[in-house]
Amino acid sequence: MGYDVGFELVLRARGKRIMDGSKARALRALNKEGDLGELARLLRTDETRLRRRFDRLKDEEGRPLVRISRHIAYLTREGEKVLDAYDNRAKFILEQIERRYRNPLLTVDGIILRGGGVVVVKRGRPPFEGKLALPGGIVEYGETVEEAVVREVKEETGLTTRPERLVSIRSRPDRDPRGHFVSAVFLMRVVGGRLRSGDDASEVAVIPYDPLPDLAFDHTDILREFFAQKNARHSQGRSNR
């Protein structure tokens, strides 16, 4: 399940509640449509209730924010000032929140070599639902990356592992369609457990790494670079004998 975080600004003056999100939306709609009947339909209410609602809208001096002439409503000068103040403050606060909390998320991925291939999982949810990927996930608060990759591998594959070495850090901002996710990629050594799917993975399998299939995220590139480095170290080791 996905969650969103939101807030509603309340504009107060001299202890009075002058404007909130619901009132601001009504005044914005009024700016676009002055006919009370049509406006009532857009706001899913009736004209009588809408008149009463607008009549109650006052600034801190008690001056009306809306004027009504027969079936036409319009913002007063005070109404325009209050709505501008509300929208400007709401925009400023939202920008501050996004600037403060819009940071990259830290994730982990595990490379597990097994039976001449590499362990992958089939993703059971978006993004890339149904595609193969390396086992991994988001680091929880209070965890080290090493603890996180052991936990994620266990949850998704059933295997008990330990990190053998850090392979790479992947930080390209567009590598995940959900946002900026930075991943620490580890080579994992199996020390127990039984291969089975679980958690966010609908299936778990061992696939050959030559040729590599098209994996989710940038996992194909991760494995290509890993095996290229592995082969280079192997060739260098042979030449030094």
Neighbouring residues of 30: CB distance < 8 A, sequence distance ≥ 6: 39, 54, 66, 73, 74, 75
Dihedrals φ, ψ of 140, to 5°? -85, 155
Per the CB < 8 A criterion, the answer to whether 117 and 209 are in contact is: yes
Q: Is 156 exposed, middle or buried (0-12, 13-18, 19+ CB in 10 A)?
A: buried
Token pair for 120: 């992958």
The catalytic residue among 98, 140, 203, 225 is 203
Active site residue 47: no
Count CB atoms within 10 A of the CB of residue 154: 18
Token pair for 171: 């930080």
CA-to-CA distance for 46 and 31, rounded, in angstroms? 18
CA-to-CA distance for 14 and 16, rounded, in angstroms? 6
CA-to-CA distance for 126 and 178, rounded, in angstroms? 9
Per the CB < 8 A criterion, the answer to whether 17 and 9 are in contact is: no
Catalytic residues: 203
